Amino acid sequence: SAVISQKPSRDICQRGTSLTIQCQVDSQVTMMFWYRQQPGQSLTLIATANQGSEATYESGFVIDKFPISRPNLTFSTLTVSNMSPEDSSIYLCSVQGYGNQPQHFGDGTRLSIL
Amino acid sequence: GENVEQHPSTLSVQEGDSAVIKCTYSDSASNYFPWYKQELGKGPQLIIDIRSNVGEKKDQRIAVTLNKTAKHFSLHITETQPEDSAVYFCAASKRVGNTGNQFYFGTGTSLTVIP
């Protein structure tokens, strides 16, 4: 399966600042996704990162708060904007090949907001 | 939309015993069911999956069963070992659009294998 690298692996940020998380895959993939995982909780889909066009956001998530880029088939970024303590969470990138294939996850970015 | 329920939320077993985790789903259009293992500090890792045209699949100590009529699927781990301790997530997936699938995850099961 694809090797997925996420950076940074963790960060501690001040309230009101923004952080950009990078996701790099070692092979071209069809789909890239961003999830949020609260401590001890399941995975919640934030958005699907579309190559060359605007991301598709799930209910409760908006582009102004979580802008996403996907300039090519192997790279995507998620920005968490104007952070508050409620944004403290694990942010996970996942990738999927064409068709009904499994998603594969990176190791996530552990974000704490002070 | 799809609703995936997972039970139990926590499970403790003695080393060598079997562990069973069960999930139900609501959308009959779901046709792909992966299971993920998440260790502390790591992302979820795919351990086994099953498609809707198959009733059972086995990979060494891990097996998954699917009952499409009842809309439930289960993960079975035999001869458990301490390294099996982790959080396990089930998921149900269905086709969305032309190229991708929507995954719906269960709430997770924290498995502890006691040496």
**Taking CB atoms and an 8 Å limit, are B89 and A100 in contact across chains?**
no
**Alpha carbon distance A112, A88 (integer Å):** 5
Name which of A34, A43, A57, A90 to mutate to probe chain B: the one with the most chain B Cβ atoms within 10 A of its Cβ. Answer: A43
Instruction: Average the pLDDT over each of A18-22, A39-43, B83-87, B106-110 and give the range with the smallest value.
Output: A39-43
From B46, B51, B100, residue closest to A104, measured CB to CB: B46
Q: What is the mean pLDDT of residues A95-110?
A: 89
Write the pLDDT tens digit of every residue in B22-41: 999 999 999 999 999 999 99
Q: Do B49 and A106 touch (CB under 8 A)?
A: no
**Residues whose CB falls within 8 Å of the CB of residue A53, separated by 6 or more in sequence, listed in order:** none
Spell out which residues of chain B touch residue A30, defining contact as CB-CB under 8 Å.
99-100
State the nearest Cα–Cα gap between B93 and chain A, in angstroms.
8
Contacts of A60 (CB under 8 A, 6+ apart): none
CB A78 within 8 A of CB A70: no
Question: Between A and B, how many residue pairs show a Cβ–Cβ distance under 8 A?
Answer: 53
Nearest CA in chain A to B90: A42
B25 touching A (Cβ < 8 Å): no
Residue A84: what pLDDT?
96
Q: Which residue has the tokens 């998380």?
A: A21
- Average pLDDT of chain A is 93
pLDDT for res A16: 97
Does residue B80 belong to the interface with chain A, where contact is any CB pair within 8 Å? no
Summarised one tens digit per residue, pLDDT across range B47-92 is 999 999 889 999 999 999 999 999 999 999 999 999 999 999 999 9
CA gap A95, B6 in Å, rounded: 24
Instruction: Determine which of A43-47, B12-16, B92-96 has the lowest per-residue pLDDT on average.
Output: B92-96
